[in-house]
Structure 1
Amino acid sequence: MTVLDTRALNRATLARQHLLERAALPVGAAVAHLCGVQAQEPQEPFVGLWSRLSGFTPDALDAALTGRAVVRTHLMRRTVHLVTAEDALGWRTRHDAMLRQRVLGVYRSELAGIDLAELTAAGRAVMADGLARSMTELVKELKERWPGTPRRALGELLVAALIPMVQLPPRGLWRTKAGVRNLPLEVWLGRDVAALPADAADPVGQRIVRRYLAAYGPASTADLRAWCGLAGLPAAVKAVRPELVSFRDERGRELLDLPDAPRPGPDAPAPVRFLPAFDNAILGYQDRSRIIDEAHLSLSVTGQRVVLVDGRVTATWTTNDHRLTVTPLRPLSPAEHAAVMAEAEPLAAFLFDGVADIAVDPY
């Protein structure tokens, strides 16, 4: 079985993530290809798409959100993602059990004894008037029925797990600060969430496997689980395995992939790219060594924005008062420094509508 070294995996990931070359895609198509864009920090998806799409402008994502082609919702790993309307409707039921388990895992003692069906029905009854509500407003209308349960626990269970919800614009629009106001997904989109089939074939899971590999492969089943948070995909992987090709990484792990997906050679040039906080190019794997060194793994879960140099996390970056500052994690060569500056300049212009100060801190 062919062994793919870390650099080969790195280039495959960058190619699938549109980080080797910006793609000429509409926002909706890009979000669909990426299987969603992590979005718990509302402004971060704009940078992620800017780094991946040629000619990207903020109004394109704003239009996708207000036009209901893309929605903000809890899905993979119980985190807020931007996903297409079609994926939100088609994937949500497959994620229901995971979403419940994760909320109950956080609030197990606070939610002990709660009848989930009763709470769901009560929440849906409140939302039946079609009005968007904050989590606090929703729980306030239910508090008398569960007076001893902490409001935060009740609210998170309802809006993140029991009722498929959308976080409505203006939340998530460009340069807009707005609180979270929720509306049931089916109400916002005017269509029903797809039900799982009665048989055990799990076609939804099979589509998720194929889509994940298209955007993240070659990858292991552990990587797949880490990305989506779903434990119950072995049957789906087994069903699609005859369609796939297999590799090994340098640790001997089996990696699965689509046969015709791009796998550039390890010497393919990788331009400097600026990634937003919590970017799935890093978080989409259990083994993140293809893109980030072990010493810097904490950056990927603490909300640090990072810079890829030669395809790997090599610096962090921050913005403050029309100033973009890059902080290297290792010494940069003169050529690398110049390449970082060359990519930082258009990013700063994008973020600040014109000239901004750019600084690269000494290592």
Structure 2
Amino acid sequence: MTKLSLQALNRATLERQWLLERRDATALEAIEHLVGMQAQSPLAPYVGLWTRLRSFQPEELAKLLEERQVVRGSMMRATIHLMSSRDFLAFRPLIQPRLEREVFQNMTYGRHRLEGLDIGAVLRAGIDRMTAGPATAVQLREHLGPLWPDREPAALAHAVRCLLPTIQTPPRGIWGKGGNPAMSTADLWLNSPVDPAASTDPVPSLERLVLRYLAAYGPASVADAQTWSGLTRLTEIFDRLDLRPYTDATTGRTLYDLPTIPLPTEDIEAPTRFLPEFDNLLLSHANRTRWIDTPTRQSLTLQEALTKGSVLHNGQAKALWKLTQATKSQATLEIAPFVPLTRSAWIAIESEAHNLLTFTNPGATHQVDRLAA
């Protein structure tokens, strides 16, 4: 099998993540190509789309949400994802085992707190409340608590959120707007039950899900796909597929890819890119050394990397960024490198930082603050 260096893996995945060159595509096309975007930080996908698309403007995604062509709901890894509505309807049933684990193995809301409970009755009660209108977590607790006074209302509401195909409705996730998350269900919000037949894929299945994953995140191992999806026992799925195997030259792991996708040359230039917090690029592989080297990982906690945006320079995560001030007249972006940066690296990073500020705060005066490594 062909051996792939970390550099080759880095460039291959950057290309299919649309991070080597911005694409002339719609936001909907990008969201479906990426098989969704992690979105518990409601505005993160806007930056994630801006960094991948040539002509993206916030109004495009806001319109898709308001017209219900895309939704935000519990999906991969039991986290909130921005998905096209057709992909949410098709693939949500496949992710159900991960969401069931989130409920019944959760140390805070699950285990003995739900033992002996008629879960079906709880879900029906949750649907009754959401039929009256989208409900916040507090409203769900207030509705469910009196019906089961011997149970923790938070545990009941958590079961409803995860076990039903819940969707967080606008204005949550709309650029320039806010509000507490309010939930509905796919049946109520999209007027359609979750159904694999709704997908544009010929046969929505775990096989199709793996193929979609590899098209956006490969080459990758079985463990990588399991990390991305939150599912287990995908080895047998990989075994049934016609995939091209590679060997990770660093670890010896077997990696898989679609046989129809050529790899870019590993010495291709990688431009500086700003990723939002929780971007799936940094969350979708069990082995993340293609993005962050081991010494950096030891000094950087995952929580730090997730709650702030990441800066890719030469294909590697080199710094964190955060918008520390944002008004109509002034916008300040703070850059905190994990490693010392060269003068040329700072020039490239600051240039892209100003491009990002122009996107997030047009018309404002921009300032980029450097923090010491």
TM-score (norm 2): 0.91
Paired letter, 2:320: T
**1:244 matched to which residue of 2?**
243
Q: What does residue 347 of structure 1 align with?
A: 356
Matching residue within 319, 324, 327 for 1:320: 324
Q: How far is the alpha carbon of 1:205 from its aligned partner?
A: 0.4
State the alpha-carbon separation in 1 of the partners of residues 96 and 170 from structure 2.
24
2 CA distance for matches of 1:270 and 1:310?
5
1:137 aligns with 2:139: yes
Report the Cα distance in structure 1 between the residues aligned to 2:28 and 2:178, rounded to whole angstroms: 23
Shift of 1:72: 0.3
Q: Distance in 2 between matches of 1:34 and 1:203?
A: 16
Report the equivalent of 1:154: 156
Q: 1:7-38 CA deviation, whole Å, 9 max, x = no partner? A: 10000111111111111111111000001101
Taking the TM superposition and a 5 Å limit, the aligned residue runs for 1:68-217 are 68-106=68-106, 107-129=110-132, 131-159=133-161, 161-194=162-195, 203-217=204-218
State the alpha-carbon separation in 2 of the partners of residues 144 and 195 from structure 1.
36
CA change 1:266–1:299 in 2 (3 A) is farther
- Which residue identity does 1:150 align to in structure 2? E
Q: 1:175 to 1:300 in 2, by over 3 A?
A: farther
Q: Which residue of 1 aligns with 2:52?
A: 52
Query: Which one-letter code corresponds to 1:268 in the other structure?
Result: I
Match of 1:329 in 2: 338
Distance 1:54 1:109 in 2: 51
Is the aligned partner of 1:32 residue 2:32?
Answer: yes
Runs (5+) with no aligned partner, structure 1 = 197-201
Output the amino acid matched with 2:157.
G
User: How far 1:195 sits from its partner (Å)?
Assistant: 5.8
Distance in 2 between residues matched to 1:88 and 1:134, nearest whole Å = 21
Pick the aligned partner of 2:370 from 357, 360, 363.
360
TM-score for both structures, normalised by structure 1: 0.93
Contact 1:277–1:300 (Cα < 8 Å) also in 2: no
Task: Note if contact 2:91-2:204 (Cα within 8 Å) is conserved in structure 1.
Answer: no
**2-side partners of 1:341 and 1:203: how far apart?**
43
Which has the larger displacement, 106-115 or 61-70? 106-115
Instruction: Tell me how far 1:6 sits from its aligned partner.
Output: 0.5
1:281-304 deviation line (CA, Å, top 9, x unaligned): 010111011011234445444422
2:144–2:156 Cα contact (<8 Å) kept:
no
Deviations 1:129-166 (A, max 9, x none): 4x11112212322222311221211111101x221111
2:369 maps to a residue whose letter is A
Structure 2 residue ranges without an equivalent (≥5): 198-202, 326-330
Q: In the TM superposition, what is the alpha-carbon distance from 1:125 to its structure 2 partner?
A: 3.1
1 CA distance for matches of 2:66 and 2:204?
A: 30
Query: CA shift at 1:54, angstroms?
Result: 0.6
Question: Do 1:278 and 1:301's aligned partners in 2 also have CA atoms closer than 8 Å?
Answer: no
2:3 aligned counterpart, secondary structure? coil
- Whether the aligned pair in 1 keeps the contact of 2:311 and 2:318 (CA below 8 Å) is yes
